[in-house]
A = this chain, B = another copy of it.
Amino acid sequence: MLKAKVYVTIKQSVLDPQGVAVQGALHSMGFHEVGSVRIGKYMELQLDTEDRFEAEARVKAMCEKLLANTVVEDYRFELEG
């Protein structure tokens, strides 16, 4: 069993309205030190395999095909276990 931790973030050049909303909420709650906020996704996948090399390629394919929209998002992942 391997565990993949996948991080999907909006590209720096793309506007993140959810981040802007959270920033505004934090300001209105008195957290004035908060500058830009970017919001992304964090996913944990259990993989029923021990082949780390193959898993690397498979998780990359999952990210490209489903987990991330590579037009506007970046992704990175780690394998554990």
Contacts and interface: CB of A to CB of B under 8 A. Distances in A.
Interface residues of A, number: 34
Contacts of A62: 26, 29, 31, 34
A69 interface: no
A58 to B, nearest CB: 6
Q: For the complex formed by this chain, how many copies does it contain in all?
A: 2
Contact of A22 (B1, B37, B38, B66): B66
26 contacts: A1-B35, A9-B42, A19-B43, A22-B43, A22-B66, A22-B67, A25-B66, A26-B62, A31-B58, A33-B47, A33-B58, A34-B47, A35-B45, A35-B47, A36-B46, A37-B43, A37-B44, A37-B45, A38-B43, A38-B44, A39-B41, A39-B42, A40-B42, A40-B44, A41-B41, A41-B42
